[in-house]
A and B are shown apart, each in its own frame.
Chain A
């Protein structure tokens, strides 16, 4: 999900390199790692850093004359009973991330550019990317049913309709309580307890679905939309954090965003409530 950027940087099969669309790893002020990691001096399809690890010559297509490096490597794999490229297949985000990290560090180390400054820059970029990973779905005004009527009656109707629809999905359990419960005495996380977050995430999805069906007075679209998007983000976070046992980097990304998303949910509910009070009391 959020590591697509990293994955694209060095995805050999990915013809359309989308790194340009996203902030990418930087190792100095002007260059990105993409060029360095993707360098294939002898153009044989095996990247330079990987050739070094396989013991083949990055400058020669055929380290052993007569046997192309690609073939030699394939043979080695076959002999070992390993199949497939190490960077393809069903990889978790954690796998992709660590592979990227390893190859990035390998290539930087080989090129002699892995100094403290680069390390700092790289780690900062990585941390930022995890924190600012993209959201699956962001709703826009076009997704809402907007009513031009801004009279008190319409607003009251909006309020009542919201209440009627949402009360079908009362939030009895708090994700924070579950997270607290999942934290074990020794500071670890019990992944099974986190599964209790799933019904909550589902319920939030349903609430979002209901909110999308409600007629929203034009003056409330901003508040309504903000609330929907906050809920959507939180719901995604709650789903993602459950992957702690299977794909921990995803969970880490979710946890690093959750506080911010909860804050944004709090402010959007407060704003909506204040706006309603103001309109209906005036």
Chain B
């Protein structure tokens, strides 16, 4: 009911002017007692709207259309009320939670990352305890560094004996472990202080890993939170501090503010003079500790909660999430002619948004606000990156962080992808003779192999297969001729004998040919081996053609992505349609990402091409050598079945007829 509404009103006004005057001036009944039509007229405004009074008099058709108009108006209003209802219900839920249930809640949007944070917090806690006080924890620093490194690596690496990385000599390693004279203090420390380097430590590591894998048997912090989360349907109550009103409230117990010793030292610690006396050092140390305690006390005013934090229950985060999810009225597509169905759809939608894990859908998972930077470090070691090598060891997409799309970077990625993919495609297929691609080199290899094969005197490649086929054909002929069909009994009893003789003769002939072939030229064996390598070319060519097809598809998708991205001039506003479009494009990109060429795939392809070229050149040089050997031996330079030996016999005669003509006794 927007512009159409205005038009409708205008038409209605015209109708009023056109119709109401004659009605009022001439047609109004003066004596109503005599008529009964007054009832419909009287109630008409309730049924059709005021215009209906007059419209009814103009004819049935107008009456019906006005009735439909009235229905449309009702439906429109009902839809608007339904939208309002959703918003109000959301607000009501929020108010209820916030008043009946007190405090600010925390809704865990991404449990995986949340649990990782818990792990980090636990590590930070333990390192903060043992890492700094060198008097009470002399090994604390080493342990702390080792813990940070362990966190970043997996069990397999953690439990690996460290020395085998640098010492490959097993005997020396053994001595290093067992003989103090070999390892000295170094060996002693390495083997005793790193748990994976001695039996007890290794056993501890192993047990720890085992316990971790025996899920649920140990109720650790993460498990406690998981239980709490389950009970709260994804709501985790943050804690408020009753004892310290200045405390940074609304921090949950697993995300409490912490004293940053590292940062304090960076700003406030200065090294003592080198020639400091023991007494002065004592003073220096005391002064440092005093300052430290003072700073800690100041920090604690707003960041410490003596006693315990108190749990609160759900509210505003849920509220914000629900609000976001339900959006404004314009976001709600309430279609359907029958608004009864719409109602059902509304509640469907609403309920779906309330369902347990469905809550995560309330929050936008793409471009969600960047989490606060974790500036915790211990001597410069952070827990921020899971793997120091930078190569992701994440096995599950759930483990990956939310993706932030930056248009400029995205465009560059696509452009780079196009360039790389084109480059790799050129390596696969390039008709330019000076820089042939793999496809072209494979063709040359095939031709060169054929040339070499023909150069070697004797039958062409796969002759053994052809010989066997010929034998099989003859066996079936013999079987048939002697009365042994597939379903016939051997009545003569001669079949096995004849077939055995044939097989023997064929095998003998094969051996003879093979022997003659490998001895005919000095390099025959090498040539024949090179020719046999042709078998590997076929699967390689198939793989290449599949890979090429994939790359061509990827390239065309990338090109269309580039075209689509050209329409974006800047990063779109959050929540806008442009952002949605961009996200869609990103999804398309991610879908083909693994097929996009990278410098790694290009370099692999290049080395594949180099290998193929080498193979071709080798075949080429072998062919040249073979040709000259042929000539020396007395053959024509050109091979083939019709090539002739110096005595005038052809290759086919010498290889195929000679052993058969006259026959050999056997």
> What separation, in Å, do the CA atoms of A172 and B88 have in the docked complex?
33
A177-B49 contact, Cβ under 8 Å, with A55-B237, A119-B348, A252-B82: yes
The 9 closest A-B pairs by CB, nearest first: A86-B100, A80-B102, A123-B347, A174-B45, A127-B344, A255-B78, A176-B49, A127-B343, A98-B92
Q: Is residue B165 contacting chain A, with contact meaning CB distance below 8 A?
A: no
Q: Is residue B552 contacting chain A, with contact meaning CB distance below 8 A?
A: no
> What separation, in Å, do the CA atoms of A119 and B355 have in the docked complex?
9
Flag the segment in B66-74, B121-129, B212-220, B641-649 that touches A. Answer: B66-74
Q: Closest Cβ of chain A: how far from B180's Cβ, in Å?
A: 58
> What separation, in Å, do the CA atoms of A7 and B311 have in the docked complex?
29
Least CB separation from B97: chain A residue: A102
One of A54, A162, A265 near B47 (C-beta < 8 A): A265
Q: Is residue B483 contacting chain A, with contact meaning CB distance below 8 A?
A: no
Contact indicator B343/A105 (Cβ below 8 Å): no
Residues of B within 8 A of A114 (CB): 355-356
Q: Is residue A148 contacting chain B, with contact meaning CB distance below 8 A?
A: no
Residues of A within 8 A of B89 (CB): 94, 97-98, 101, 248-249
Q: Is residue B43 contacting chain A, with contact meaning CB distance below 8 A?
A: yes
Q: Is residue A42 contacting chain B, with contact meaning CB distance below 8 A?
A: no
Contact indicator B232/A272 (Cβ below 8 Å): no
A95-B343 contact, Cβ under 8 Å, with A166-B42, A171-B45, A187-B80: no
Q: For residues 227 through 254 of chain A, which have their beta carbon under 8 Å from a beta carbon of chain B?
A: 231, 234, 241, 244, 248-249, 251-252
Least CB separation from B334: chain A residue: A187
* Binary interface encoding of chain A residues 116-128 relative to chain B, with 1 for a CB under 8 A from any of its CBs, else 0: 0001101110110
Q: Is residue A60 contacting chain B, with contact meaning CB distance below 8 A?
A: no
Chain A interface residues (CB < 8 Å from chain B): 52-55, 76-77, 79-80, 82, 85-87, 92, 94-95, 97-99, 101-102, 105-106, 109-110, 114, 119-120, 122-124, 126-127, 130-131, 156, 159-160, 162-163, 166-167, 170-177, 179-180, 182-183, 185-189, 200, 204, 231, 234, 241, 244, 248-249, 251-252, 255-256, 258-259, 262, 265-266, 269-270, 272-273, 276-277, 280
Residues of A within 8 A of B343 (CB): 127, 130-131, 252, 256
Decide if the interface of chain B is mainly helix, strand, loop or mixed. Answer: helix
Q: Is residue B313 contacting chain A, with contact meaning CB distance below 8 A?
A: yes
Flag the segment in B31-39, B381-389, B442-450, B542-550 that touches A. Answer: B31-39
Contact indicator A187/B329 (Cβ below 8 Å): yes
* Binary interface encoding of chain B residues 203-215 relative to chain A, with 1 for a CB under 8 A from any of its CBs, else 0: 0000000000000
Contact indicator A189/B77 (Cβ below 8 Å): yes
Q: Is residue B352 contacting chain A, with contact meaning CB distance below 8 A?
A: yes
Q: Is residue B551 contacting chain A, with contact meaning CB distance below 8 A?
A: no
Contact indicator A172/B313 (Cβ below 8 Å): no
Least CB separation from B101: chain A residue: A53
Contact indicator B100/A255 (Cβ below 8 Å): no
Q: Closest Cβ of chain A: how far from B399's Cβ, in Å?
A: 26
Q: Closest Cβ of chain A: how far from B227's Cβ, in Å?
A: 11
Q: Which of B5, B74, B76 has the most CB of A within 10 A?
A: B74
Contact indicator A160/B33 (Cβ below 8 Å): yes
One of A101, A183, A270, A276 near B77 (C-beta < 8 A): A183
Least CB separation from B38: chain A residue: A163
> What separation, in Å, do the CA atoms of A102 and B33 have in the docked complex?
58
Residues of A within 8 A of B101 (CB): 53-54, 86
> What separation, in Å, do the CA atoms of A230 and B569 have in the docked complex?
60
* Binary interface encoding of chain B residues 478-495 relative to chain A, with 1 for a CB under 8 A from any of its CBs, else 0: 000000000000000000
> What separation, in Å, do the CA atoms of A55 and B102 have in the docked complex?
12
* Binary interface encoding of chain B residues 1-44 relative to chain A, with 1 for a CB under 8 A from any of its CBs, else 0: 11001001100000000000000000000001100111110110
Contact indicator B36/A262 (Cβ below 8 Å): no
Contact indicator A94/B92 (Cβ below 8 Å): yes
Decide if the interface of chain A is mainly helix, strand, loop or mixed. Answer: helix
Contact indicator A249/B85 (Cβ below 8 Å): yes
> What separation, in Å, do the CA atoms of A101 and B1 have in the docked complex?
31
Contact indicator B340/A119 (Cβ below 8 Å): no
Can you list 17 A-B contacts (CB < 8 A)?
A92-B92, A95-B92, A98-B92, A105-B351, A122-B347, A159-B33, A176-B45, A180-B8, A180-B77, A187-B76, A187-B79, A248-B84, A249-B89, A251-B81, A252-B84, A255-B82, A262-B70
Least CB separation from A259: chain B residue: B74
Contact indicator A102/B73 (Cβ below 8 Å): no
Residues of B within 8 A of A87 (CB): 100
Q: Closest Cβ of chain A: how far from B20's Cβ, in Å?
A: 13
Q: Is residue B350 contacting chain A, with contact meaning CB distance below 8 A?
A: yes
> What separation, in Å, do the CA atoms of A280 and B33 have in the docked complex?
11
Residues of B within 8 A of A130 (CB): 343
List 18 other contacts, CB 8 Å, given A120-B348, A265-B47: A52-B233, A55-B232, A94-B92, A98-B92, A102-B97, A176-B74, A179-B74, A183-B1, A183-B5, A188-B83, A189-B80, A200-B46, A204-B46, A241-B81, A244-B81, A248-B89, A259-B75, A270-B40
A52-B43 contact, Cβ under 8 Å, with A94-B89, A98-B89, A259-B74: no
Contact indicator A171/B348 (Cβ below 8 Å): no
> What separation, in Å, do the CA atoms of A127 and B356 have in the docked complex?
22
Q: Closest Cβ of chain B: how far from A52's Cβ, in Å?
A: 5
* Binary interface encoding of chain B residues 361-382 relative to chain A, with 1 for a CB under 8 A from any of its CBs, else 0: 0000000000000000000000
Least CB separation from B12: chain A residue: A177
One of A82, A189, A259, A266 near B102 (C-beta < 8 A): A82
Contact indicator A174/B232 (Cβ below 8 Å): no
Q: Is residue B278 contacting chain A, with contact meaning CB distance below 8 A?
A: no
> What separation, in Å, do the CA atoms of A270 and B346 have in the docked complex?
36
A179-B77 contact, Cβ under 8 Å, with A269-B39, A273-B39: yes
Contact indicator B1/A105 (Cβ below 8 Å): no
Q: Is residue B177 contacting chain A, with contact meaning CB distance below 8 A?
A: no
Q: Is residue B50 contacting chain A, with contact meaning CB distance below 8 A?
A: yes
Least CB separation from B50: chain A residue: A174
* Binary interface encoding of chain B residues 298-318 relative to chain A, with 1 for a CB under 8 A from any of its CBs, else 0: 000000000000010110000
> What separation, in Å, do the CA atoms of A79 and B355 have in the docked complex?
31
Q: Closest Cβ of chain B: how far from A229's Cβ, in Å?
A: 14
> What separation, in Å, do the CA atoms of A278 and B95 have in the docked complex?
59
Q: Closest Cβ of chain B: how far from A48's Cβ, in Å?
A: 11
Residues of B within 8 A of A80 (CB): 102-103
Q: Is residue B392 contacting chain A, with contact meaning CB distance below 8 A?
A: no
Q: Is residue B613 contacting chain A, with contact meaning CB distance below 8 A?
A: no
Contact indicator A53/B81 (Cβ below 8 Å): no
Contact indicator B74/A262 (Cβ below 8 Å): yes
> What separation, in Å, do the CA atoms of A123 and B320 have in the docked complex?
23
One of B36, B231, B348 near A52 (C-beta < 8 A): B231
Q: Is residue B99 contacting chain A, with contact meaning CB distance below 8 A?
A: yes
> What separation, in Å, do the CA atoms of A156 and B33 have in the docked complex?
8
Contact indicator A188/B45 (Cβ below 8 Å): no
Residues of A within 8 A of B339 (CB): 255-256
> What separation, in Å, do the CA atoms of A92 and B90 have in the docked complex?
14
Contact indicator A182/B33 (Cβ below 8 Å): no
Contact indicator A126/B347 (Cβ below 8 Å): yes
